Structure 1
Amino acid sequence: MVRNEGEELLELAVEPWADTHQIPPKGTCVVVTHSSAGDGTWGGTTYGDEPFEVEHRPDSVTVWAYGDCFHLGDREGNPIYENAYGGGCPARDPAV
């Protein structure tokens, strides 16, 4: 979950897709990533069992989502930006 506790818009960048979104003041965005790896590892992270790395700056947050895809939702699980999926998402296409 990424919360914007500030009074201004907060930029959320999801890498490695270079996808950016604006979180309104007092808003929350949930970043979900999926991996097709059956052994529970996530490529690219400092520790193999962590699916995310987060970088915070005063006016933006970057989430490195190390799965095969990502999607954004609100706290209730409703999708935000329905088209914000990477290719080959196992959650969207179980055959991948």
Structure 2
Amino acid sequence: MVTGGTARLLLSNGGEAALELTVEPWAESHQILPKQTWVVVTHSPAGDGSWSGALRGDEPFQVDHRPESVTVWVNGNCFHLSDAHGTAIDSADWQCPAQGSAS
């Protein structure tokens, strides 16, 4: 979901084992436990709220999934991780705007 230069991506682990989450280009690695849902939030670096995109223009995220891991390429200037209720898990850049809600 994209709102005025902010994008949110829900990631759920419906498996029986922990799922490794890597957030690039920061190489941040985390474990999403079974039955957990996390939210990756990023903010557009462009003044007009647009995204540079990795494979196609105007895309805030690119996701690569493998059996035990998922890599999220963030095209914003920073990112936040939170749980489905908006509780902060991590922030790669303390200069990011406030997280706000996960919805």
Normalising by structure 2, what TM-score?
Answer: 0.78
Normalising by structure 1, what TM-score?
Answer: 0.83
Partner of 1:68: 77
Q: Distance in 2 between matches of 1:4 and 1:34?
A: 24
Partner of 1:43: 52
Partner of 2:4: none
Q: Distance in 1 between matches of 2:55 and 2:65?
A: 17
Structure 1: give runs of 5+ residues left out of the alignment.
none
Residue type at the aligned position of 2:92:
Y
Structure 2: give runs of 5+ residues left out of the alignment.
1-9, 99-103
| Greater strand share, structure number | 2
Percent identity over the alignment is: 58
Displacement of 1:40 in angstroms is 2.7
Partner of 2:27: 18
Residue type at the aligned position of 2:87:
N
Q: Distance in 2 between matches of 1:25 and 1:46?
A: 30
- RMSD of equivalent CA atoms: 1.5
Which 4+ stretches in 1 moved above 6 angstroms? none
Residue type at the aligned position of 1:55:
D
> 1:47-69 CA deviation, whole Å, 9 max, x = no partner?
22210000000000000011000
Q: Which shifted more, 5-14 or 42-51? A: 42-51
Work out the number of aligned pairs and report it. 89
